[in-house]
Chain A
Amino acid sequence: MLTFTIRRLVLSIPTLLFISLVIFLLLNLAPGDPMANVPITVPDEVKQRMREALGLGESVYVRFYKWMVQFFWIEPQVLIDHYFGTTFSEGKLRVISWQTRSPVMDIVVQRLPQTLWVVGMSYVVGVLIALPIGIISAYRQYSVFDQVGTFISMLGFSVPTFFTGVLLIVIFSVKLGWFPSIYDTTLVVNSWETFLAQLRQMVMPVFVLALYNASQISRFMRASMLDNLNQDYVRTARAKGLSEKVVVLVHVLRNSMIPVVTVIALGVPQVFGGAIITEQVFKVNGIGQLLITSLQANDLPMVQTLTFIFALLIVLFNLIADVLYGVLDPRIRYD
């Protein structure tokens, strides 16, 4: 197990390097211009000088090398400095966003809380709803509950979030005035009122996303339960006279959870990636919104860093999912 994990970790390094190169080259083929949003009243020579100040005059290789050094060497030093109060990174140039002219990682760290709150919470809520629905649907296959559950989960991933989101805003913020239509990222939860305010502004985005997550996971759960319910060991357990509750909730559920747990683990990177559309609709200025605005502004260092962080998380959680699988399912042996 350990050797497998280490081997996979080592193997993922070239994968990640390759991905970072692919992303970098892709971005640098861009015909766009970071100065396009500057008003046309600003003369062309000024724009040219601004471009040079961004380092656009250098060749692609030099820029890639610089980004690698900044991301893999200087940024970790900044992190160490932050935690231990050391001064390794002092005076060294970090990955700088073109748009804000400030370190990319600082902004990412600033954006993470709201993304984790909203997207993370919706993931947790989604999983918590999905599991019981999946279990009951499978246990009573083709019952009314199953049909309704199937229909709702189908709706969940068929109706696009940009449609449900807008609909919710109009009904609940404009018509009824129950929830705010704009997410306040500066709210600090330190009292009962602020907690309620936080709850109110989270309800709609969390609901939209949780519905989507729950639909997918409940389908997995149902399928996995169905696979197991007809297995011989279930028949054996029943024959032994175990109560139905014990059979389903202990024997079947435990085995059915194996693939579902890995699926849940695989979904975690998306939580960090934020939900681009939902964040846009509910004005939750998180990671997803950061990505889309930097794309629109042609802020390449920011886009490059963000996509690479996503890639890193995806590779990491893939590994975690595989290891989990091995730990949970004794039939799997990685040797």
Chain B
Amino acid sequence: MTLKSLLLGAAASTVLSPMAMAERGSDGHVGIIYWQAPSSLNPYLSGGTKEIEAASLMLEPLIRFDPTGKLVPFLAEEVPTVENGGVSADLTSLTYTLKEGLLWSDGTPLTTADVAFTAEYCMHPEGGCAQSHKYDSVKEIEVVDDRTVVVHFKEPQPYPYSTFVGNQAPIIQKAQFAECLGARAPECTDANFGPIGTGPFVVTDFRPNDVIQLEANPNYRDPDKPAFATMTFKGGGDATAAGRAVLETGEFDYAWNLQLAPDVLANMEAGGKGKLVSAFGTLVERIEMNMTDPSPDLSREIRATREAPHPILTDLAVRKALSMAIDRDLLVEIGYGQAGRPTCNLVPGPEVYASDNTDCLTQDVEGAKALLEEAGWVDSDGDGVRDKDGKKLSLLFQTSTNAVRQDFQALIKQWWSDIGVETELRNIDASIFFGGDAGSDDTFQKFYADVEMYANNFDGTDPQAYLARYRCGTEPSPSSQWQGTNINRFCDPEYDAMIDELAKTADLDKRSELAKKMNDVLTKDTYTVVPLVDRGRVSAHSLSLGGVALNTWDSEIWNAADWFRIK
């Protein structure tokens, strides 16, 4: 956390010092480049990060996360809590009060009718809303008056902040989207491409997968903001070109997510036109161990299901040794540089939930060998591969096709061969690996391999749903059409009990303690999940752009209203 707080401190000081209290539009033009171009500006129709972040310039939620992961009110007057009476004592309802005098960018007032409509829009069964999981727990939205709205939940929510919270669930205008409910949603092209919002900017021209032109919102609630009169939001190309455009040629002011080799980035930064900023969220690159047997010799009914336990990986010593053989520092250095740090945690942040688990950080090849030796895995036939009871330590290691992941695979294969484990590598096109097609044998859910590597994270700052993924019975299996969240087929009644307890606990300290314990069960106690790298965000901004506060908990450009030109 030290790096982040340092960066934040730096960002905060730049915000404060040269604040020449500019007026709206006085700083001219600003250019943002996202190397993946947004295809729509309606976050409810497209779940992609690029669309959600682009839309966050126009659309705002009631409350959202700041760079430290704390909730801050945006359209609401304050963050409702049990203490201030915003959350009912039985945790079944949440009351929001809107700020006074809020206007849409077209000049009409924003009322709770818009808030209620937003929920109706996303909860419509035919709409295919990409964020509907944010509204799953809602029973009813009750409009009390123009500024007060109550969200009633189906059941008590110890952590109630998902509906209307964060960049994925912003408020849309009822007048604009009223005709776009359900199946008619994609027909409203004008609305989807230029949503009327309350944010600092207004779309003047949107070209899908290419570029967005914006101008300052004349009705933005702070009369002095935004400092920029116009904005260009360019998309497309690749991370290298985006980095070059900000750091070397200075064509743009802000470049998003520069996932590049560290030495390439360092070289670009030496160009002297801009600087890199990074921050960490909850995205963890990990190796998942398959607790079930993926052998193709098994019948399709029991292959990779709990009925067929894995012949080798059910041995804790093997899993632990595999983890010990990995040099995480080197992986970070090669793959992510500034945008990564080694981790042993499944939940690496926010700070309150991060366990102090660091035992995996040092590579220990000898220790791993000894551990295997002790557990009876010896190389009895002299072919360099350990075996026990006629079972060879031979693994199939799969991941999605991606240059960094293939580098990781090659390195890990070499380390594992050092401790006498034979590895076969396989990579699968990302659109299939993550595609979720039950008919394909190559999805990460089906897990027809011994170990697999990918990255996952959770929305917002609360890990409850994320940790609940490992509940026994939620594993993908033939009977669930291979849908399910418990990828490892981990099964432990004690862990399930902790999940239930977490769902009932509202006290933050207790939640934190429990979540850390659950994290440890999955990682250092059982090595079911072997975390490798905590993947942060590296973005770049030009030296003349002030006010940037990189946020990994919400939209990266969440505070574009505060950006200004350093003169």
Contacts and interface: CB of A to CB of B under 8 A. Distances in A.
Contact of A33 (B237, B244, B435): B435
Interface in A163-199: 173-174, 177, 180-182, 184-186
A285 B435 contact: no
Contact of A32 (B48, B126, B431): B431
Nearest to B232: A186
Contact of A101 (B131, B186, B245, B439): B186
B209 A285 contact: yes
A37 B45 contact: no
A181 B211 contact: no
A100 B40 contact: yes
B457 A41 contact: yes
Contacts of B271: 174
B47 A42 contact: yes
Given A32-B435, A46-B130, A96 B186 contact: yes
Interface in B155-209: 183, 185-187, 189, 192-193, 205, 207-209
Interface in A106-147: 106-107, 110-111
Contacts of B205: 186
Interface string B429-467: 111101111011000000000000010111100000000
B236 interface: yes
Given A35-B435, A181-B249, A285-B209, A52 B128 contact: yes
Nearest to A170: B244
Contacts of B78: none
A169 to B, nearest CB: 8
Nearest to A297: B39
Contacts of A289: 209, 236
Interface string B104-132: 00000000000000000000011111111
B251 interface: yes
Interface centre among A37, A107, A111, A173 (most CB of B within 10 A): A37
Contact of A174 (B127, B131, B249, B440): B249
A298 B185 contact: no
A99 interface: yes
A53 B126 contact: yes
B46 interface: yes
Contacts of B425: none
Nearest to A174: B248
A42 B186 CA distance: 20
A43 interface: yes
Given A33-B436, A44-B483, A110-B207, A182 B185 contact: no
B208 A50 contact: no
A50 B49 CA distance: 16
A42 B456 CA distance: 11
A38 B47 contact: yes
A54 B48 CA distance: 16
Interface string B40-81: 101001111100000000000000000000000000000000
B208 A107 contact: yes
Main secondary structure of the interface of B (DSSP, over half): loop
A227 to B, nearest CB: 45
Contacts of B439: 31
Interface in B217-243: 232, 234-237, 241
A99 B249 contact: no
Contact of A102 (B126, B208, B434, B457): B208
A8 interface: no
B210 interface: yes
Interface in B113-153: 125-133
A27 to B, nearest CB: 14
A151 B37 CA distance: 40
Contacts of B548: none
A303 to B, nearest CB: 13
Main secondary structure of the interface of A (DSSP, over half): loop
B526 to A, nearest CB: 22
Interface in A24-42: 31-33, 35-42
Contacts of A102: 40, 186, 189, 192-193, 208
B251 to A, nearest CB: 6
A173 B249 contact: yes
A196 to B, nearest CB: 16
Nearest to B126: A53
A89 interface: no
A249 interface: no
A22 interface: no
B464 to A, nearest CB: 13
A283 interface: yes
Contacts of A298: 431
Nearest to B483: A44
A293 B251 contact: no
A262 B454 CA distance: 52
Contacts of B40: 99-102
Contacts of B128: 49-54
B314 to A, nearest CB: 26
A53 B249 contact: no
Interface in B242-283: 244-245, 248-249, 251-252, 271
A63 interface: no
Given A100-B209, A174-B244, A93 B249 contact: no
Contact of A177 (B49, B213, B241, B249): B249
Interface centre among B48, B192, B249, B431 (most CB of A within 10 A): B431
B347 interface: no
B488 to A, nearest CB: 15
A93 B187 contact: yes
Contacts of B385: none
Interface in A277-300: 280, 283, 285, 289-290, 293, 296-298
A287 to B, nearest CB: 11
A41 B166 CA distance: 14
Nearest to B429: A32
A47 B132 CA distance: 10
A41 B459 contact: yes
Interface string B463-492: 000000000000000000001110000000
A259 interface: no
Contacts of A54: 128
A193 to B, nearest CB: 15
Interface in B1-59: 33, 37, 39-40, 42, 45-49
A101 B130 contact: no
B126 A101 contact: no
A306 to B, nearest CB: 13
A101 B211 contact: no
B249 A285 contact: no
- A-B CB proximity, top 3 nearest: A53-B128, A33-B435, A101-B186
Given A107-B207, A297-B39, 17 more contacts: A31-B437, A31-B439, A36-B431, A37-B48, A39-B48, A41-B459, A49-B128, A51-B128, A53-B126, A97-B208, A100-B193, A101-B189, A102-B186, A173-B244, A174-B248, A182-B251, A283-B241
12 contacts: A32-B435, A38-B47, A38-B48, A46-B47, A46-B130, A49-B128, A51-B128, A53-B126, A102-B208, A174-B249, A283-B236, A285-B236
Interface of B: 33, 37, 39-40, 42, 45-49, 125-133, 183, 185-187, 189, 192-193, 205, 207-211, 213, 232, 234-237, 241, 244-245, 248-249, 251-252, 271, 429-432, 434-437, 439-440, 454, 456-459, 483-485
